[in-house]
Structure 1
């Protein structure tokens, strides 16, 4: 069995692998590091000749030649995937809602959910119920792969995962990220646990992610895995912050798409840097490094306004682009880089990204309390692509003080009378411009920060917070 090298791919493989172990020990789970690439071509030579069935999860829908080669060796092939199907593959049984003629209604599924559905079918045939043990995993796979949260089935599984967390390792990692296990939200996972596990795969340490997710019991070994994930995530933040600081001044503000080249970032982090550049400049972003021969290879991040994947595939300067509409990888000839930028500028000449800050509700600071924040967080507990966390305009704020925080000095705390405003992934310039002893209004997401104080006596301390997108000075 072979899976893709991201959170969704690892979860997909582990779900099916663990279930099959209930019936046979003649099953092997294989992965390759992210730097090796995606697809069955990177594992095909390692498949033993006595293999009866090759299973690819969250991967390989378009790997026709690879499946043909395996079939010629007498190996049957099963692919369980959710990525776009570009070619017909007669050499494998394909479970993919994207294929032509498929009547499965959820076209926004992910690998982890589809594999879980297959596990349920196996249970039905074998009159067992092993898949129930892993029901808390598909929802997290959906969030990690940024699948639509407008899809009813997706919302059901995410809600189930958040309210019925069973995986002992994920519980420990949530706690290490200071999350409230009893009141988990999608953002707790998307901005905490998911980046930590994914950081291991992005740093070519997929074994750590696999060993962590394979754990089914509490142990000192599991504690070590959690500590390693926290450390590798901190390192990921550092590399990402340094790359952004280095690349932002090089961006051409006249281009419709941010296109930068930096071979030092590494394949695993190109996508994260592209995501941050896209947010910073409110336009699609491409981060490239050195590919094979005379090519650049890297990652792209798009906007919700259109499919960046389709746009790149329409460019003559692109060798290939793959992935999802808003996130994926691409390759282009080095000599064609300027041509690619010109093509993108031409194709998007009439497009202007909307940089307006929208909010759902407005509150005066005197209206905000713990009860209100809890009610809002419950409503937005299941959020993600297509159903964003609630944004709120808070008025009547008076800035009493400010503080620059974090190991990388990229977090700002603004002290107001009844609430603390937090700005993440920012810089000293942002901090310096915050007006102390001034009235402001701000837009962001509301949260309650809770921590424990042990001296002189034990107590829980709670502070209302607003994670801000931006603020405006009131004259």
Structure 2
């Protein structure tokens, strides 16, 4: 692990913020690292308000989208709400269809089949719209690159409104309206919305025409917060506001489908981390193992008994997903072991029998294990399909773009993308991708990095300090849980490996003049020698709470030891 201390903010700014907020140096430093420089900035950060959301009509084409939907409602046209099969797509479809059903009965939903149709807008979906007399498709979390398909729909008399957040290509589809804040000529102030976030801006605009405010739409924010967490978008600016209020809905008044999912996992208060690791994988499992329609059905269900039944089915899909993911990861790691002596800058593995629904998860696991830009391929019909994941600091989307002559179709983000190619192009693409990464990557990015916010002593960790840190939530990209470093630690003699297979490390640390703190280091059992025989050491950690037999205490969650 590379330990990197974040740059120290300007001393005068730290002192000014300390004085303005009446906080200690560490808190002022953490805030400045997050771009919070004034009392007003801090007020917005610690007290998110729905008033902080931007006017949706600042987004390019929003007025056109609203006009077309209002015309469709007035004329009793049939509207098809189309979305991708992942969490962002299915929550977007649930959000848009739920809202539009309060305005008209002529609404249906369509999720493409991951295996028959693949990612994004499909010709089958457009044919379905024409065959069933739909004259308007609202596409969510996809469509920004669907130039040919939007043209095909136009020829069949079907209009498109696109709500996307992926990076556009050189040309934009000729839809009635294209809502995507990442378009170069879109002046919307916040660029990092997820697909469901863009969908929310559209219903916010539609509702405003009826004289409603964003307060009237709070019930939809459980879906938006779930998508924000699952899609790993920055939890800054507008996303932070949406996630903050969405979590309140999830915890206190969730829709019936989400309540049914929470009942399956029996957890009281959910954080955004719980949404990412507990709720999102279950919603995703439907599209991975069966069909994304199951997720939309659950998320729009009004009958509690039916919702419980659907949630139980999704729990089964999730169990199957975990088993497939585990087996494929083992097989992929075996492939990597065979290739290890080649000293490659990329990890590219392929097996035609791997389950297409879990290759993205496997790619993430391989990236964590081998820390290389990673592609996991499987057979998909006549083509090969892959999920790409990257290491921190490297843009895998740009690398794929540089290899586009070998690719049929691709799309995504800096750190996660998907692609398809012809089987005969696989070897040439694999080499081109390796060459491109070798040419462009900073070698230091191939060593995992821990970014440390600030160096502190244990005596600074008090209940009051932790209460302030809790107010930094919700955490996520752009506002990660603070990571601290402390020197001159010793184990008080209770350090040991724990867990069924003894892979975790549990110890109690102190400094010469401090109280002691219990530490837990998951998968860090191999570090037991660092702490043995009263040797002094350094630790990198975050702070959280441990609840045991009704007692709550602060503990340190270890990231690394030296």
TM over 0.5, yes or no?
Answer: yes
> Closer, same or farther in 2 for the Cα pair 1:146/1:345, shift >3 Å?
closer
Find the counterpart in structure 1 of residue 159 from structure 2: 76
**Partner Cα distance (2:282, 2:556) in 1:** 23
**Partner Cα distance (2:125, 2:528) in 1:** 53
Structure 2 residue 232 is matched with structure 1 residue 138: no
**Partner Cα distance (1:309, 1:328) in 2:** 6
Find the counterpart in structure 1 of residue 498 from structure 2: 403
> Closer, same or farther in 2 for the Cα pair 1:369/1:180, shift >3 Å?
farther
Structure 2: which 5+ residue stretches go unaligned?
Answer: 1-80, 510-516
**Partner Cα distance (2:142, 2:120) in 1:** 6
For residue 147 of structure 2, the aligned residue among 64, 83, 104 is 64
Contact 1:414 1:422 in 2 (8 A): yes
**Partner Cα distance (2:135, 2:259) in 1:** 37
Structure 2 residue 125 is matched with structure 1 residue 43: yes
**Partner Cα distance (1:90, 1:337) in 2:** 31
> Closer, same or farther in 2 for the Cα pair 1:207/1:342, shift >3 Å?
closer
Pairing of 1:35-184 with structure 2 (within 5 A):
35-36=115-116, 37-41=118-122, 42-47=124-129, 48-86=131-169, 87-128=171-212, 131-150=217-236, 152-165=237-250, 166-168=253-255, 169-171=257-259, 173-174=261-262, 176-177=264-265, 179-181=267-269, 184=270
**Partner Cα distance (2:145, 2:418) in 1:** 15
Specify which structure has the bigger relative contact order, considering alpha-carbon pairs within 8 angstroms and separated by 6 or more residues.
2
**Partner Cα distance (1:444, 1:200) in 2:** 35
The count of aligned residue pairs is 451
Structure 1 position 94, deviation (Å)? 1.4
Pairing of 1:267-416 with structure 2 (within 5 A):
267-293=356-382, 295-315=383-403, 316-332=405-421, 333-348=425-440, 351-353=443-445, 354-362=447-455, 368=461, 372-379=465-472, 381-393=473-485, 395-398=489-492, 399-405=494-500, 412=504, 414-416=506-508
Contact 2:115 2:380 in 1 (8 A): no
1:54-94 deviations in Å (ceiling 9; x for gaps): 22111112222222222222222211111222223224321
1:146-196 deviations in Å (ceiling 9; x for gaps): 11223x111111112123433244345446546542xx4322222222222
Find the counterpart in structure 1 of residue 96 from structure 2: 16
Structure 1 position 4, deviation (Å)? 0.8
Find the counterpart in structure 2 of residue 457 from structure 1: none
Find the counterpart in structure 1 of residue 306 from structure 2: 221
> Closer, same or farther in 2 for the Cα pair 1:450/1:35, shift >3 Å?
farther
> Closer, same or farther in 2 for the Cα pair 1:75/1:356, shift >3 Å?
closer
Contact 1:322 1:329 in 2 (8 A): yes
Structure 1 position 350, deviation (Å)? 5.2
Q: Secondary structure at the match of 1:444?
A: strand
Q: Secondary structure at the match of 2:108?
A: coil
1:333-357 deviations in Å (ceiling 9; x for gaps): 2342542354235423654315343
Find the counterpart in structure 2 of residue 255 from structure 1: 344
Structure 2 residue 532 is matched with structure 1 residue 447: no
Contact 2:410 2:419 in 1 (8 A): yes
> Closer, same or farther in 2 for the Cα pair 1:208/1:292, shift >3 Å?
closer
Structure 1 length normalisation: TM-score? Answer: 0.84
For residue 203 of structure 1, the aligned residue among 273, 289, 293 is 289
1:81-128 deviations in Å (ceiling 9; x for gaps): 112222232243212222342121222111111111111121122335
1:280-331 deviations in Å (ceiling 9; x for gaps): 22221111112443x4321001134232101111024444321112101123
> Closer, same or farther in 2 for the Cα pair 1:259/1:149, shift >3 Å?
same
Find the counterpart in structure 1 of residue 55 from structure 2: none
> Closer, same or farther in 2 for the Cα pair 1:167/1:260, shift >3 Å?
same
Structure 1 position 368, deviation (Å)? 4.8
Structure 1 position 230, deviation (Å)? 4.1
Q: Secondary structure at the match of 1:421?
A: strand
> Closer, same or farther in 2 for the Cα pair 1:146/1:296, shift >3 Å?
same
Higher helix share: 2
Find the counterpart in structure 1 of residue 514 from structure 2: none
Q: Secondary structure at the match of 2:209?
A: helix
> Closer, same or farther in 2 for the Cα pair 1:128/1:216, shift >3 Å?
farther
